[in-house]
Amino acid sequence: MTTLASRDDDQTLSGRGSSWATTWRPRLKPLLLAATFPVAMLVLWHVFTVGRPGSLIPPPHEVWLELQDLAFGGINDDAFSRTLHIHLLASVSRVYGGFALALVVALPLGMLIGRVPLVRQVIDPTLQILRPVPVTAWLPLAMILFGLGPRSAFFLVFLGAFYPILVNTVFGVRSVEPRLFEAAAMLGCNGSAQFFRVVLPAALPSIFTGMRLGLGFAWVVIVVGEMTGVQTGLGAIIMEARQLSRTEIVISGMIVIGIVGFLSDQLVMLLGRRLLSWSPSHG
Amino acid sequence: MAEATIPILEMKNVGKTYSQNGRSIEALRGANLRVKKGEFICLIGASGCGKSTLLRMAAGFETATQGDNLMWGVPISGPGPSRGMVFQDYGLFPWLNVRDNIGFGPTSRGRPKAEIRETVDHFIDLVGLQRFADVYPHQLSGGMKQRVAIARVLANDAEVVLMDEPFGALDAMTRERLQDELVEIWSRTGLTVLFVTHAIDEAIFLADRVVVMSPGPGRIDNEYSIDLPRPRDTASAEFNEWRRLLSSQLHSHHRRKAG
């Protein structure tokens, strides 16, 4: 550590690109480190696939061309060209629609379960028994109930986001420090006002964690939900391409899901940093 | 009857028995205490002497299982803004900055915004936190947090300030400074203070009256009026006499308990 630090000092003292050393390098270093592994994987991928017609996996540049064709067309000009926006919009609207519905149901329900003993006693055991059933195991039943099509996918997303939000909301509203209720009461804040001025803000970090997990899970589940009987969506395009042995499209679809899921998570994190700047573990 | 003759707080033969796992535990027995408006009272005693129980009853957090617990002659039925509490662990709302923590009480009671602002500014000045008005509790030191807790209670027009070992978790330097400041605020505002501590020096330095309690079951043993002039000199001979007296009082219980 000391040697590194003194070397840094020497560089700045000798005046060799002090703005580089002080402003750019600290920002660039994590980016470079983060890029090392994917670049290495890309190189390996290229080396092992390029120039081998029999390879099950297409080389990276073919996937790159396919991605461009999916987005803008003009390369293959087949049924998949320039369809990315349709599939992307379909998946995004299902993810956020199902997620929003899960929020609308899970937030109030979680608060009731957490704060009202009667509701907890009546509803919680049932929810706990249903919880271990994997969301994917609901797919066949969803298809029977809602038919083959986007409504089943929507339902799965809802279910996938529902439990993380519910469980974390219940935890959040139940684990408010008792001292804060005493503090509020002696300051003249009682009854339902306590719920809005103490319970809700105190539970916000937990609720937020639940939302983040729920949204992440929604992106996992959407692909499963779209794999059967759905015409549009990133899951649908992946499944269809597999049947046609268009592996470059399968991989392109995966890359798009990864990027969109990442951006979606970053958006939630940004929101969290604004809302929870008071919390040492979030701010 | 005139206000002056009715004590602001009065506990008549107050007792508290908890039942826990089928066993009953007597935390406090037959406690009598009269607090006049403007008095500074310290409750002192070993752990388990019921001093915190007594304080929490005055706050309305706990109800007595025996006796009467009165404020201005009216039974205390629950916590309320007339009796503000300062906790050892601060009890600040972590999602509110210093300003909003201090304004919590007035906001709860629906005071006009401009008035809240003015009140909050006044008490931020009083406890010397002008530079930290927009800071969240987790960014403050223990001493600063306790200043916020005190200001929060004062900003809510509390008549009685109940303090449960408020400086117990602070380092010695900070503790002494806050003791000075508390006496200063108290003498300027005419507050009534009920202060729980287990530190003899702290009690002698702060109190008009020291109430000595002892455990098993918790009860009040003795009361002493500390007639030393303020500000008090902890190194004076008189202070030392009080120290010796209270110390022997407190230690006699230990011997009794051990023997």
A143-167 pLDDT, tens digit per residue, is: 899 988 889 999 999 999 999 999 9
Question: Could you tell me which residues come within 8 angstroms of residue B229 by beta carbon, excluding any fewer than 6 positions away?
Answer: none
Give the Cα separation of B57 and B50 in Å (integer): 10
Residue A4's pLDDT is 38
Are A188 and B105 within 8 A, CB to CB? yes
Among all chains, which residue has been given the structure tokens 């605020």? B185
Are B79 and A277 within 8 A, CB to CB? no
Residue B178's pLDDT is 96
pTM of the model: 0.86
Q: Does ipTM surpass 0.95 in this model? A: no
Please name which of B36, B75, B18 lies closest in space to residue B223, comparing C-alpha atoms: B36
Q: Which two tokens stand for residue A239?
A: 């499944």
Of B81, B84, B94, the CB nearest to A279: B94
- Work out the pLDDT band at B131, boundaries 50, 70, 90: very high
- Work out the pLDDT band at B15, boundaries 50, 70, 90: very high
Residue A281's pLDDT is 77
Tens digit of each residue's pLDDT, chain A (283 residues): 333 334 444 444 444 556 777 778 888 888 999 999 999 999 999 999 998 888 889 999 999 999 999 999 989 889 999 999 999 999 999 999 999 999 999 999 999 999 999 999 999 999 999 989 998 899 889 989 998 888 999 999 999 999 999 999 999 999 999 999 999 999 999 989 999 999 999 999 999 999 999 999 999 899 888 988 888 999 999 999 999 999 999 999 999 999 999 999 999 999 999 889 898 877 5
Question: Could you tell me which residues come within 8 angstroms of residue B96 by beta carbon, excluding any fewer than 6 positions away?
Answer: A201, A278, B104, B136, B137
Which alpha helices (DSSP H) does chain B contain, by range?
Answer: 51-59, 98-102, 104-108, 113-126, 142-154, 172-189, 200-206, 237-258
Percent of residues in chain B assigned helix, strand, coil, to nearest 5:
40, 25, 35
The β-bridge partners of B209 are B41, B225
Q: Which of residues 82-141 of B touch A (CB under 8 A)?
A: 83-85, 87, 89, 91-97, 104-105, 108-109, 136-138
Q: Which two tokens stand for residue B122?
A: 């006044």
Higher pLDDT, residue B169 or A23: B169
Give the Cα separation of B119 and B128 in Å (integer): 14
- Which of B55, B62, B77, B93 to probe the A interface (max A CBs under 10 A)? B93
Residue B76 has a CB neighbour count (10 Å cut-off) of 22
Q: Give Rg (Cα) of chain A.
A: 25
Q: Chain A contact for B80, CB < 8 A?
A: yes
If residue B192 lies in a helix (H) or strand (E), which one and from where to where? strand B192-197
| 3-state secondary structure (DSSP) of residue B184 | helix
Confidence check: pLDDT of B253 > 80: no
If residue A234 lies in a helix (H) or strand (E), which one and from where to where? helix A234-243
